[in-house]
Amino acid sequence: MTQPAQRTPFHRQIALVICFFSLLSSFSLFAQNTCLDRRLSLLATDESCANLAVSVLIKGPPSFVAEQVIQAGGTIRYTVDQITSASLPAHSLMPLSKIPGIIRMESAEIGLKPLNDRMRTNNRISLVHQGLTPLPKAYEGKDVVMGIIDTGIDFTHPDFLDSTGLSRVEWVWDHLLADSANTPTPYGYGQEFSKADIDAGLASAHIDQTAHGTHVTGIAAAGGDTLYTYRGAAPKSKIIAVSLDFSLDNDSWLSSIADAVHYIFSKSDSLGLPCVVNISAGTYFGSHDGLDLTAQVIDNLIAAQNGRMVVAAAGNAGGYPIHLRHQPLNDTLFTWLRSSNNNPIYAECWSDSADFAGLSLSVSADSPAPFFQTRATTPWFSAGQLTGQLITDTLKSPAGDRIGLMQSYREYVAGRYGLMLYIVPDSNTYLFRINTCGSGSFDAWSFELVYNNLPAPGAYPPIIHYITPDVQQNICSSFQCGQRVICTGQYVNRNNYIDVNGNTQTFPTTVGALALSSSRGPTRDGRTKPDITSTGEVTMAALRLSSVAWFVQNQPYKLAADSIHIRDGGTSSAAPAVAGAIALYLESQPLATWTDIRNRVLLCSRTDAFTGTNLPNNDWGHGKLDALSLMTGCAPLALPSLPATESAGLQLAPNPSNGNTWLELEVPVNQARLRIFDAQGKLLLQRDQLQGRRFPIELSEHPDGLYYIRLDESGTMSKSITLLIGGR
């Protein structure tokens, strides 16, 4: 979509709104060109929309059509038979439609707009917003606090303003700002700003550090009062945002997260409202058992009072072999670590005391060229030696040259041993390795573990004792592994959209499939994680307004058509959808216990062909988030009264089907609603305000069986048809 260069992003959004209302007001003022469909005719006759980039399907001789489109300043996407897909400026529609040889032009944007309602639809959140039976009313998170612990928030974004233009953000606590009169107590650092400060323009010192927090908040709580397309999961919730200082070391940073959770719950208590907190941040280091103090504090805060929950992102290390497990069984095992660009190597090893007691460890430096040989080794040590002390060892070659410096810290806490290794290499020449012998086991995490290009046994016989790192147990540590926190993985939300320039962006992914980057469990003590999965990869939500110009200039392919929403993904995008669904439940049950909330999210999840039925597992947790089922306590919906025979005016081909079929409508459709139910009455798909006559039905992810398709037309009787899927 193009706009005059002098307009700011905010003015650009105003233009879109003006354009929309201008179209409505001009409906009765034009004589429709029969070559154009209704939407294109409206666009073609409104001057305020002249520069909008429009996706169009054009019927006519392909080479002739292509020539005319290019001359009109448009672009060609593809051609199928006599129909060409193109992008055109709206002002060229009418002149092009009058050229002999152009037979028909129709809008091609249905189903391809960068709609965030894909997130709402996939998680069955839209059905809760609609108040679908058996819900007694629609729920949107009213009188519930949505806490976001992240990089901050752009509270000037339209998604976080109410219908009067005032902020929906109740409080912001910025950890990065210097102590001042508005430093919150009892924490003693950073600055806080109230809703009154924000509305009065007194909170300009706060900015979203990276735009990540704004995007996450948009998924959880975008209001949609001005931009309905990008509504979040809980659009009527009240927002409290905490901006973390990511430059802190792990211990201090985790402590600041515990402070942030305490702060948000305290503020929600002062408002007398239930609260759900989302944390799309984490560290991959730690004991991965939820027994560190930060995890315990957050777990205890959840349980301290009804109407509370915390949701956290599982992490995006699904494809990275950062986990290692050694279990020597009286053998000698080893694994290499490699420095990148002379950067230090860091690794953490954790084990229960009984498993670590019989182990001995050492660290070696190996030279891989001209042949593999060990050049230095530290003395063997046990985990129980010198606990609570920082030990420094120098690795030297036989000639006395220093190869590297190693520091180790050994601790014993809550029945566990922890060993932290910090190696500063003198060059990239050497491979550093962890050696173990004896009996017992430990788990280790490092981003420097060597997992490929290993030597063959013929070149290096000891390689038969090499333990290769794996892609299990690569979830974030600490509070994500807590007993009460809901840890969220991600699946593919969408694989296409139209960007700000009107170009279709596509991705070689399968919608609904587990995202490759989604981190996997279990926890170190064997519990299933993540707990649930939600939509992550390719989710459209709010962009920090100060970043719009940069993205328009450098990465326009990431921007939605309005330029102030952007694609992102990962478990950072999946967690706020879960948090938003919980906010909907807290609106209906503000005094729900943490066990009730957690059980509903996990046990009322959705399964399909991607998740399989062997759940819970460490990929999907208990399955996919199902907000409607969560709200109804997993109760099946009443099966709609549908006949088993086809209705006049509806046809399916093929039927029976393998899950992919077409629905033909032989009657006029006006404001129609199409819904598909399974045999138990569970709503699988809904499409409103249909236009056209032929619609694809995609149910390949659902199991074989009987499905019901229902069409409700405005002012006419409902029609229905049954579909049988089988034979796959």
Q: With bands split at pLDDT 50, 70 and 90, how would you rate the model's confidence at 484?
A: very high
Least confident of 160-174, 359-373, 438-452, 668-682: 668-682
Q: With bands split at pLDDT 50, 70 and 90, how would you rate the model's confidence at 51?
A: low
- pLDDT, residue 682, reads 67
- b (16+ CB within 10 A) / e for 672-697: bbbbbbbeeebbbebeeebeeeebeb
In whole angstroms, what is the distance from residue 578 CA to residue 623 CA?
A: 12
User: Does 471 or 663 have the greater pLDDT score?
Assistant: 471
Asked if 267 and 171 touch (Cβ cutoff 8 Å), the reply is yes
Asked if 456 and 463 touch (Cβ cutoff 8 Å), the reply is yes
Reading phi first (left if > 0) and then psi (alpha if -120 to 50, else beta), residue 570 is in left
Helix axes 571-588, 212-221, angle to 10 degrees: 40
What are the angstrom distances between the C-alpha of 518 and each of 99, 320, 415, 490, 530? 52, 10, 30, 6, 9
Residue 137 pLDDT greater than 80, yes or no: yes
Which token pair is 288? 């991965």
Q: Summarize pLDDT for 397-428 with one digit per residue, the tens.
A: 888 889 999 999 988 888 899 999 999 998 88
In whole angstroms, what is the distance from residue 640 CA to residue 675 CA?
A: 11
**Could you give the 3-state DSSP secondary structure of residue 94?**
helix
What are the angstrom distances between the C-alpha of 634 and each of 274, 599, 603, 622? 22, 10, 8, 13
> Average pLDDT over the chain, rounded to whole?
85
Asked if 519 and 318 touch (Cβ cutoff 8 Å), the reply is yes
Asked if 206 and 544 touch (Cβ cutoff 8 Å), the reply is no
In whole angstroms, what is the distance from residue 310 CA to residue 262 CA?
A: 11
Which token pair is 56? 């169009």
CATH homologous superfamily of 117-318+476-631: Peptidase S8/S53 domain (3.40.50.200)
- The residue behind tokens 């138990």 is 680
Residue 28 pLDDT greater than 60, yes or no: no
**Could you give the 3-state DSSP secondary structure of residue 573?**
helix
Measured CA angle at 244 (ends 238, 246), to 5 deg: 150
The alpha carbons of the chain give a radius of gyration, in whole angstroms, of: 29
Residue 19 pLDDT greater than 90, yes or no: no
* Mean pLDDT along residues 81-98: 86
* Mean pLDDT along residues 220-242: 88
In whole angstroms, what is the distance from residue 92 CA to residue 104 CA?
A: 14
- pLDDT, residue 661, reads 77
pTM across the whole model: 0.73
Asked if 487 and 574 touch (Cβ cutoff 8 Å), the reply is no
**Could you give the 3-state DSSP secondary structure of residue 415?**
coil
Type and span of the H or E element at 602: helix 594-603
In whole angstroms, what is the distance from residue 674 CA to residue 650 CA?
A: 12
- pLDDT, residue 49, reads 60
Q: Does domain 9-107 have CATH number 3.40.50.720?
A: no
> Which one-letter amino acid corresponds to residue 653?
A
Under CATH, which number does the domain 323-465 receive?
2.60.120.1290
Least confident of 75-89, 436-450, 486-500, 631-645: 631-645
Q: With bands split at pLDDT 50, 70 and 90, how would you rate the model's confidence at 696?
A: confident
Per-domain residue ranges of the chain: 9-107, 117-318+476-631, 323-465, 650-725
Residue 727 pLDDT greater than 70, yes or no: no
* Mean pLDDT along residues 675-691: 69
- pLDDT, residue 9, reads 34
DSSP3 helix / strand / coil % (the chain, rounded to 5) = 25, 30, 45
Least confident of 110-119, 137-146, 290-299, 350-359: 110-119
Under CATH, which number does the domain 650-725 receive?
2.60.40.10
- pLDDT, residue 493, reads 93
Beta strands in 426-546 (DSSP E): 431-438, 442-445, 486-492, 496-498, 504-506, 532-537, 539-542
DSSP 613: S
- pLDDT, residue 84, reads 87
In whole angstroms, what is the distance from residue 540 CA to residue 440 CA?
A: 47
Nearest by Cα to 546 from 310, 214, 250, 241: 214
User: Does 527 or 686 have the greater pLDDT score?
Assistant: 527
Q: Summarize pLDDT for 539-563 with one digit per residue, the tens.
A: 999 999 999 999 999 999 999 988 9
CB within 8 A of 668, min separation 6: which ones? none
Measured over the CA atoms of residue 655, residue 657, residue 662 and residue 663, the dihedral's sign is positive
Q: What is the dihedral of CA 274, 253, 451, 327, to 10 degrees?
A: -80
CB within 8 A of 650, min separation 6: which ones? 663, 664, 665, 666, 709, 711, 719, 720, 721
User: Is the link from the previous residue into 616 a cis peptide, with omega within 30 of 0?
Assistant: yes
Residue 129 pLDDT greater than 80, yes or no: yes
- pLDDT, residue 159, reads 95
Q: Summarize pLDDT for 246-261 with one digit per residue, the tens.
A: 998 888 889 999 999 9
> Which one-letter amino acid corresponds to residue 592?
A
In whole angstroms, what is the distance from residue 277 CA to residue 234 CA?
A: 12
In whole angstroms, what is the distance from residue 558 CA to residue 537 CA?
A: 13
Q: Where are the alpha helices (DSSP H) in 56-112?
A: 62-71, 93-97
- pLDDT, residue 224, reads 73
- pLDDT, residue 689, reads 65
Least confident of 194-198, 378-382, 547-551, 698-702: 698-702
* Mean pLDDT along residues 59-77: 88
Which token pair is 541? 């939500």
Measured over the CA atoms of residue 372, residue 377, residue 382 and residue 386, the dihedral's sign is negative
In whole angstroms, what is the distance from residue 30 CA to residue 46 CA?
A: 10
Q: Cβ–Cβ contacts within 10 Å for residue 107, how many?
A: 18
Least confident of 154-168, 225-239, 604-618, 660-674: 660-674
**Could you give the 3-state DSSP secondary structure of residue 410?**
strand
User: Is the link from the previous residue into 134 a cis peptide, with omega within 30 of 0?
Assistant: yes
- pLDDT, residue 24, reads 30
- pLDDT, residue 388, reads 83
* Mean pLDDT along residues 259-273: 97
- pLDDT, residue 55, reads 78
- pLDDT, residue 168, reads 96
Q: Between the ranges 22-36, 77-91, 566-580, where is the mean pLDDT highest?
A: 566-580
CB within 8 A of 473, min separation 6: which ones? 288, 323, 325, 443, 445, 520, 521, 522, 523, 524
- pLDDT, residue 117, reads 61
Residue 21 pLDDT greater than 50, yes or no: no
Q: With bands split at pLDDT 50, 70 and 90, how would you rate the model's confidence at 720?
A: low
Residue 33 pLDDT greater than 80, yes or no: no
In whole angstroms, what is the distance from residue 237 CA to residue 118 CA?
A: 20
Counted residue by residue, the chain has a size of 728
In whole angstroms, what is the distance from residue 291 CA to residue 616 CA?
A: 22
Which token pair is 728? 């796959």
For the chain, the straight-line distance linking the first and the last C-alpha, in angstroms and rounded, comes to: 42
DSSP 24: H
User: Is the link from the previous residue into 643 a cis peptide, with omega within 30 of 0?
Assistant: no
CB within 8 A of 262, min separation 6: which ones? 297, 301
Over pLDDT 90: what percentage of the chain? 57
Backbone φ, ψ for residue 339 (5° rounding): -80, 145
* Mean pLDDT along residues 673-687: 71
Asked if 376 and 395 touch (Cβ cutoff 8 Å), the reply is yes
Least confident of 13-27, 102-116, 276-290: 13-27
Helix axes 594-603, 571-588, angle to 10 degrees: 120
Asked if 396 and 376 touch (Cβ cutoff 8 Å), the reply is yes
In whole angstroms, what is the distance from residue 499 CA to residue 187 CA?
A: 43
- pLDDT, residue 702, reads 78
- pLDDT, residue 657, reads 74
